[in-house]
Structure 1
Amino acid sequence: MSAVLVVNSGSSSFKYQLIDSESEESLASGLVERIGEASGRTSHRGPDGTSERTLQIPDHTAGFRAMLDAFAEHGPSLDENPLDAVGHRVVHGGKRFFEPTVVTPLVEINIEDLSDLAPLHNPANLQGIRAARAAFPDVPHVAVFDTAFHQTLPPAAYTYAIDAGLAERHRVRRYGFHGTSHKYVSEAAARFLGRPIEELRQIVLHLGNGASACAVRGGRSVETSMGMTPLEGLVMGTRSGDLDPAVLLHLARRAHLGTDELDELLNRRSGLLGLSGRGDMRDVRQAAENGDEAARLALDTTIHRLKHYIGAYTALLGGLDVLVFTAGIGENDARLREETLEGLGFLGIELDPERNAASDRGARVISTDGSAVTVLVVPTNEELEIARQSLQAVARERAD
């Protein structure tokens, strides 16, 4: 058997998953964390269960050695499951990358050059790529970009109404994110319904700690809520989402906040956390049920923003066939789904309360049989999508 190793690298950790190339079964997964700290940790789930280890991990290269040790000790064997490819999640591909790309030194340079658009993500992604290439020098490595699915946005959707020359010089435009998830989920929804994706107008709501909406027409992204960075759009765990840009000018002048302080405010001290003091939706929900008014406002603001995007995207699509909830909150919070869809009957959306409340975990319909719009819950699987795209990129490279 052969496999694809999928790597999602952060600045002080990386997650990995080994996926069978043929069956698409997950063979193993793990986490290497606290890289560069006094004491690091690995967690590996393989054929014989989960094993954990504490050790010093000074850098990502050492982290990959620890991962290889875990495979050797706890399986599955990488000798018996040779790698067809190593697939890497890369957050920002700018305008340069519109498909999965086999990594070369030039590709690494381009990923690094795009780091000013994603300073928290691209450098960390690149660290993982370089460490993985050192660990697996004879295996093709593929970069799969969060922004790539949104390269089909029309100019009217990706253009900001600021000075055009300034925007061009500094690469200011909407790029969109969560593209790997939006692609996987929209295609999975079409397969689940047994309908050609080319015929469908879909809205996909990826609701996790980070959250985004995407309008998908015929399998192509035509609008998405995240913008030049993952900050724009929906209310998130710690990110503000949509904001009048003059708020930043006001806070700079009146509160004397500098650039770094504003960045910290909008990315790490806003969203659910900023409104309620809690960044986890489950904690916000519990607090609201206990009568906490700030938590209730955080929920109401989140739902208001979701309704706003559903209505706007339905208009852009010229109607709606399928609405999909996905990711941690979207898949598991039935009450949020109910509150979001309340009052949207005029769009042809009729939620079935019993279906919505069911504890099923797979893809499922939660609308009534008579609903003009089919509402689904579809679990996302970004790792599997990265594995699929990595194999496609390697096959395309070999064919050329």
Structure 2
Amino acid sequence: MTPIDSAPARTAGPRAWRRRCAAALTALALVVAAMATGTGTAAAESNGGTRVMPLGDSITEGTQVPGGYRIGLWQRLLGGRYTVDFVGSQFNGPAGLGDHDHEGHPGWRIDQIDANISGWLRSYTPRTVLLHLGTNDVLQNYNLAGAPQRLSTLIDRITAGVPNADVFVATIIPLSNAGQESAARAFNAAIPGIVQSKVSAGKRVHLVDMHSKLTTADLIDGVHPTAGGYDKMAAAWYAALQSAPGSIGEPGDPGSTAGAIRGVGSGRCLDVSGASQTNGTPVQIYDCNGQANQRWEATGAAELRVFGGKCLDVSGRGTADGTQVLIWDCNGQNNQQWRFNADGSITAIGANKCLDVPNYSTANGVRLQIWSCSGAANQRWTRI
């Protein structure tokens, strides 16, 4: 414990008081900014899928459009029935982004990522790395002549840390400032040779021509993409991933987006009562049987669909403990959005409460509800 200073406090002068107020206001502004952007660290989300690390700067983080290209990429992966687990120490993006983890650091240059990459690789052991980096070297005019070698060194560190990973190296996207764009093109011109040298050395490194996929019309502020620009990046990443067998697993691998969801506490599956497709039919736990009323598909809109067009729904958009869970025509509202969490719980995004088996019951036919999240076994689920 730190000892309490018993000396009388000295009265601060007006200048010192102003400095302290300014410092406090600056700290408050930083907190508010972080809350507004939804950026920061949080408990990792994991679904047991192929671990993919989005790695880079603010364009990976999604400045201007929180989540950035990861939103469109996640949706494409789900649509293709790939099960992927985004990994990284950072966390941001909209509720509809099924996995918010990433390693995008606004303002960081190649050398700053390189100084931290070994620890991140040890922590998250990605199977695949998506690297888009170098924009801040250009914007900060930081030893641009040495930027290609810094990138090469970083790639070597990644392939040494995770030698069985596929590493996708993208050229950086265009910049609106003519001088900076010229520097970006010069940097990009070196990347194909860097990638080829790694391939020739037997490394699983792939080139992604990202620069050609966007124009300055796709930029919201001259540096960061619009939502449409980020989606173009998502399409480029997805095409590259599909071209490298195993980099995102195979469609329909175990733990894929369509299948049964079993309660940890009960050992029984999430089930539509009576296999009915009628709006308002309650959802219950029941012996797992592989039938259509127990096959749930996680979509890019954070839905859990059954029978193709029905969604797991919190009745009446309720938020109170004990509100019933049922099926309803999918409508995009937040009472039909769900998030899988690392501890096995499933959060109803609109209510911010967990899918719950009442009273820890394990009996067939017990109807489900939402309840304040507790981490107990009656709120934990596994996809099978």
- The two structures have a TM-score, normalised by structure 1, of 0.24
Structure number with bigger Rg = 2
Kindly indicate which of the two structures has a greater share of residues assigned to helix. Answer: 1
- The two structures have a TM-score, normalised by structure 2, of 0.25
